[in-house]
Amino acid sequence: MAGGVFLDIVDPWINWNWLSTHIPTVLAALQQHVMLTAIAVATALVLSIPIGVVAHLWPAVRVPTLGALGVFYTIPSIALFALLIPYTGLTGTTAEIPLIGYNLLVLVRNVVVGLESVPPDVLDAADGMGYRRFARLVRIELPLALPAMFAGLRIATVSTIGIVTIAAVIGIGGLGQLILKGLIENFHTPLVVATILSIALALFLDLSLAGTQRIALPWSRKQ
Amino acid sequence: MVTETMSLLEHLWQWFADPANRQGSDGIPTRLGEHVQLSVEAIIIGALIALPIGVVLGHYGRFGNLAINLSNAGRAIPSFAVIVLAFQAFGLGGGPIVFALTLLAIPPMVTNAYVALREVDADVRDAARGMGYRELAQVIRIELPLAVPLIMAGVRTSAVQVVATATLAALVAGGGLGRYIVDGLARNDNPRLVAGALLVAGLALATEFSLSALERLISPRGVRLRRHPVYQPLKIV
Amino acid sequence: MNGIRRTVWSAAAVAAIALVAVACGASSSPSGTTSKGTITVGGFNFPESDILAQVYGQTLAHDGYTVNYKLELGARSIVVPALQSGQIDLYPGYAASELEYLNHGKGEATADPAETTSKLNTYLSAIGAEALTPSAAFDGNAYAVTKATADQYNLKTLSDLTGVADKLVFGAGPECKTYKFCLPGLTSVYGLHFKNTLVLDTDGPATRAAFKNGTIQVGLVFSTDADLQQLGLVVLQDDKHMIAADNVVPVIRTKAATNDVTGILNKISAGLSTNDLFTMNGEVSLQHMDADAVAKSYLQAHNYFS
C-alpha cells in the first residue's frame, strides 16, 4: 500500500544537513571499504598466479580446482561470513576469506584462459630460441596472459566492492555500515550516500585499471 | 574445533530429517517455492526488457559502447543497497524485491544479447538481404538462431546471480531460503544457517546446470558445434 | 623486454599510491598520557545499544581508560561469543534476555530484576563473565496495536486481546516463536491465538512498515522506542506480568571487572532511568543525531556520574 510513500514524507532522500556534519564518518567508512577490497583483491591476485600456472600445466588439476572454486562461488557471502565467525572471530579475516575465495575463481580462470590463448607459434619460436620451460613461462607466456589477467582483475575488483557491503551484517565496517544504519533507523541519507559512493568507487577503480592496462600493455589495446 | 564441526554436521543432518522443517510456512518446500518465485519473476521480467533492447541495438549496431559496458556497470551496483532502497521506497512484500532483482538481472542480458547479434557474420547478413528477407524476418529467422548460445549464456549468468541475491530478501523481512540464513544467525541456530547456505548454493548450481542444458537444447546444431565464447562470471552477493 | 618492465613499474606505482593513501588515512596513534588499561565495548545492532555502549564507554574513557568500540555487531549470537573469546570486554545487556539466551530459553527469568540478574550470573560465571547491578532503566518486550485497532476493540491491556486475537495478525522477529516471553508467553499466560503470525524483524523497519500498511495489527516493539507515538501505536499493558525484567545491566568479562571499573559502571547504571533511554532514543532515531554525541551531552549534563 502507501507504506513506502509515507516514509518519504518524513525524510527527504538526502538530508544535506546530516551529510555536511558527517563527512568524517562517511570518509572513514569509505576508507575501511577500500582497505577490505584492496586486501581481498591483492591476496587473490598473488595466489592466483601459481594456482593458475599449476592448473594450466597439469590438466588433471584444472578441472577439480576450477570446479571447487566454482562451487564455493555459488555460496552466498552472508552465509560464509556468519559461518566463519566461530573460527576466525569478528575480525577482517572473517570477511576476507570468502572474498579471496570468490576472487580466486575469477582470477585463476583468467590466468588459465590467458595462458591457453598464447599462440602455439610463439611457443615454438621460444623453444626454438632456446628458452627452457620455466623461463618460457615467466618471460613469454605470463606476459602474454596479462590482458586476460587484467580483465579478471577488473571484474574481481568491482564485484568485491559490492560484496564487502554485506559484511556489515556481521559488524565489519565499510560502506555497508551506512547501508545498515539507513535500514535500521529508517533513514534514507546514509543509504543513498553509501550506494552512490560504492558505485563511484567501483567505476573509478575499473577505469584506473583499464588505464593502467593501456599504459603498461599498449599492445593489448583491442581486448 | 574438529569436534564442533562434527557435531554441527550431525545436527545439520538432523535438521534436514526433522519433519517440522519439511512442511508449513517455514518448511523447505515453502521457502524454496518463495525463493524460486522471486527469482523466476525477476528473470522473466528482466529478460522481457533486456533481450529486445539488446537484440535491437545489436542488429543495428547502435550504442555499442553503452551496451557492452552495461554489464560491467551493473556489476558495480551494490545489490544489498538496491534491495534496501527498494524496501524503503516501496515497502514490504515481494514486489519491491522483484523490482530490485530485475534491475540487477538486466545488464548482463543486454550486453550478451548485443554482442550475440553483433557476432553474426556480416556475410550471413548480406546473404539474407540478398535472398530478400525483410528486416524483422531477417532478425527472427536468421540472426536470432545464430545468437542463441550467447544470449542464453547471458540469461544463465543473470539467473544464477538472481537466485543468489534473492537470499538478501530475508534482510528486509522477505521470504525465501535466505530466511534460514538470517534467522539462523539471529537465533544462534547454526544447523539452520548452514542448511540455508547449502540450499541456496544447491539451487544456484541447479539453475546453472538446467539452463546450460536448455541452451544446448535450443541451439541450432550447427551453432552448437562452434567454439563457445569465454564465459564472464558475475558475482554480486 | 620493455613491456614487462613497464608493467612492473606501473603495478609498483599503483601499489605505492594505494599504500600511501591507506597509510595517510590510517588512525593516529594514541597520545602520550598513560592509560589505566584498554577496554573494548560491544553492542547490538539497534540504536539504543549504540547509545548505552557510548554512555558506559565514554565514562570509562573520561576516567582514564582507553576505550575501543565494536558496535552494531548483530544479535546475541555474535555478541556473547565475542565476549567469551575476549574480542569484547563489556556490553550493555538486558537482564532477562541475556539469561534466556544463555539458558537456551528455559524460561527462568522473572519480573524481578535482582532475582533475574543473580540467576544470570550463575550462567555467566561459566563463561568467565559477570553481570553487574541492574539499572532501574528498563527496555523490554512491549506488544502494541495501532490506535485504530485499540479503538475498534477497546483494547488497553493484553488481557483485552483474548477473544479478538483470532481476528488479528501478529508480527515479530525470528526468535519470537520460541522465546518464552514472546509468543509462547502470549499463548500460555493470556490465551491468545492469533489469526496469523508473520516473521518480520525484531522491532525493526519491517515491523514498522507492516504496521503502516495494515499487514499486522499487533506487533512486538520495545518499550523505549522513540517513534511509537509517531507511528500511532498503543502499547498494551502487561497486566499479568508476563514480561520479564529486561533491565539494563552491564555484562563484563571477569578479567576486566576490576573494582574501579565496576564501581564506575554501577554508578552509571544507578543514575540511568527508563525516561533517559526514551529521550536519547528520540534524539537518535527521530532527529538523526549521532549516538556518541547524544551520549556525550547526556554524560556532561550528569557530570559523568562522578
CATH superfamily ID and name for B27-224: MetI-like (1.10.3720.10)
What is the distance between the alpha carbons of residues A105 and A70, in angstroms, rounded to a whole number? 6
Contacts of C152 (CB under 8 A, 6+ apart): none
For residue range B68-126, list pLDDT tens digits in order.
Answer: 888 888 889 999 999 999 999 998 889 999 999 999 999 999 999 999 998 888 888 88
Q: pLDDT at position A8, please?
A: 41
Nearest to C198 by CA among B174, B39, B29: B174
Pairing of strands C129-131, C196-199: unpaired
Distances in Å between the alpha carbon of B26 and those of B31, B110, B116?
A: 6, 36, 42
How high is the ipTM of this complex? Answer: 0.86
In angstroms, the separation between the Cα of residue B43 and the nearest Cα of chain A is: 18
CA nearest neighbour of C243 among C182, C299, C305: C182
Whether pLDDT at A3 is above 50: no
Q: Which of B76, B160, B181 sits opposite A79 (nearest CB)?
A: B181
Q: What is the pLDDT of residue C9?
A: 57
The stretch A201-213 carries a mean pLDDT of 93
pLDDT > 70 fraction of chain A, expressed in percent and rounded: 94
Give the Cα separation of A55 and A168 in Å (integer).
34
- Tens digit of each residue's pLDDT (9 = 90 or more) over A60-76: 999 999 999 988 988 88
The shortest C-alpha distance from B185 to chain C (Å) reads 7
Q: Does the structure show a pLDDT above 60 at A9?
A: no
Confidence of residue B232 (pLDDT cuts 50, 70, 90): low
Cβ separation of B92 and C77 shorter than 8 Å? no
* pLDDT at residue number C15: 54
Which residues share a beta bridge with C234? Answer: C145
pLDDT tops 90 at residue A96: yes
Which positions of chain C have pLDDT values less than 70? 1-33
Indicate the pLDDT class of residue B186, thresholds 50, 70 and 90: confident
B182, containing H or E segment: helix B178-186
What interhelical angle do A23-57 and A142-164 show, nearest 10? Answer: 140
CB B65 within 8 A of CB B122: no
Taking one residue from A and the other from C, the number of pairs with CB-CB distance under 8 angstroms is: 89
Architecture of domain A23-216: Orthogonal Bundle (1.10)
Domain coordinates of chain A in residue numbers?
Answer: 23-216
Burial class (CB in 10 A: 0-12, 13-18, 19+), B122: exposed
Of A7, A170, A176, the CB nearest to B88: A7
Q: Which of A2-16, A148-162, C150-164 shows the lowest mean pLDDT across its residues?
A: A2-16
Query: What's the confidence (pLDDT) of residue C23?
Result: 43
Give the model's pLDDT for residue C24.
45
Does pLDDT of A6 surpass 70?
Answer: no
Q: Residue C33: its pLDDT value, please? A: 62
The rounded mean pLDDT for chain B is: 88
- For residue A223, the model assigns a pLDDT of 47
pLDDT score for A205: 95
User: Are C174 and B87 a contacting pair at CB < 8 A?
Assistant: no
Hey, which residues 176-205 in chain B have their CB within 8 Å of chain C?
A: 179, 182-183, 185-188
pLDDT at C11: 56
How much is the pLDDT for C3?
58
- The structural domains of chain C, ordered by start, are 40-138+245-305 (3.40.190.10), 141-235 (3.40.190.120)
Q: How many CB atoms lie within 10 A of CB A88?
A: 15
Q: Which subunits have 3 or more CB–CB pairs within 8 Å of chain B?
A: A, C
Q: Is the dihedral of CA B74, B79, B84, B87 positive or negative?
A: positive
Return the percentage of chain B with pLDDT > 90, whole number: 53
Average confidence score pLDDT of chain A:
89
pLDDT at A7 (0 to 100): 43
Compute the average pLDDT of residues A23-36.
96
Nearest-by-Cβ selection for C3 from A25, A189, A217:
A217
Backbone angles phi, psi at C39, to 5 degrees: -130, 135
Q: Are C22 and A34 inside 8 Å of each other by CB?
A: yes
